[in-house]
């Protein structure tokens, strides 16, 4: 589990196909090498991935993960190339501060940026969610965009808006998207369970 509070921006060093729709990605980060172990979970732009290798290169720590066909199909991972910047978050530990909201690291689909307004101290962004996910997004509710926990401001049909504060623009990749770009979307886990309970009671 994660909280949607990004702790590092990683950089893709290499992407290598490994057959059967599997890709191995090598990702540079600023985490200490000794703090990462094989089998650990790291959210990579919102996608929970398992560490399968660790090392150092040119004074930087790197870790490797494998992305299967389903991940490549429903997330942005299939578009990542050498130099792509991604948000990173280590898995939540018991006793850690829950600064954002409960994030599973299981991307539900892609959100498309349809409007962006850069203000003096923040950015207002309007996103379009896939139709089947729109019902899980509510004003003042939570979403994770590329792994970043955000509060929803307004909702209209399948679109929703968020305000990105200066700190978030600085320490995540959310300042990068332009109108027309798509990024990873995870809807609020509690909203999904609530909807399921309502369906079961009817």
Q: Which member of 50, 69, 82, 194 is catalytic?
A: 50
Q: Which member of 14, 30, 35, 151 is catalytic?
A: 151
Query: Which residue from 9, 186, 24, 5 is spatially nearest to 105, judged by alpha carbons?
Result: 186
Q: Which member of 2, 63, 136, 160 is catalytic?
A: 2
DSSP codes joined into one string, 92-148: P-TT----S--B-S---EEEEEEEEEE-SS-EEEEEE--HHHHTT--TT-EEEETTE
Q: Which member of 7, 41, 159, 182 is catalytic?
A: 41
Q: Which member of 106, 138, 159, 161 is catalytic?
A: 106
Contacts of 172 (CB under 8 A, 6+ apart): 6, 9, 87, 146, 148
Q: Is residue 151 annotated as part of the catalytic site, yes or no?
A: yes
Q: Is residue 41 annotated as part of the catalytic site, yes or no?
A: yes
76 and 182 in contact (C-beta within 8 Å)? yes
Q: Is residue 2 annotated as part of the catalytic site, yes or no?
A: yes
Q: Is residue 106 annotated as part of the catalytic site, yes or no?
A: yes
Backbone Cα Rg of the chain: 17
Q: Is residue 173 annotated as part of the catalytic site, yes or no?
A: no
Eight-class DSSP state of 91? P
Q: Which member of 28, 43, 44, 48 is catalytic?
A: 48
Catalytic (active-site) positions:
2, 41, 48, 50, 68, 106, 151
């Amino acid at each position: 589990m994660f909280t949607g509070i990004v702790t590092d921006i990683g950089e893709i060093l290499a992407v290598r196909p490994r057959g059967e729709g599997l890709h191995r990605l090598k990702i540079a980060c600023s985490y200490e090498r000794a703090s990462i172990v094989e089998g650990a979970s790291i959210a990579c732009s919102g996608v929970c991935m398992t560490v399968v290798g660790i090392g150092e290169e040119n004074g930087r720590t790197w870790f490797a993960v494998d992305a299967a066909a389903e991940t490549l199909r429903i997330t942005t991972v299939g578009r990542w190339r050498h130099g792509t910047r991604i948000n990173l978050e280590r898995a939540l530990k018991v006793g850690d501060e829950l600064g954002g909201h409960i994030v599973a690291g299981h991307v539900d689909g892609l959100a498309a940026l349809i409007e962006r307004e850069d203000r003096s101290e923040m950015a207002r962004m309007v996103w379009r969610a896939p139709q089947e996910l729109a019902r899980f997004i509510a004003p003042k509710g939570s979403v994770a965009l590329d792994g970043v926990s955000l509060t929803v401001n307004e909702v209209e049909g399948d679109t929703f808006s968020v305000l990105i504060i200066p700190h978030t623009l600085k320490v995540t990749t959310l300042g990068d998207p332009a109108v027309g770009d798509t990024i990873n979307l995870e809807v609020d886990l509690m909203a999904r369970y609530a909807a399921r309970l309502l369906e079961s009671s009817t």
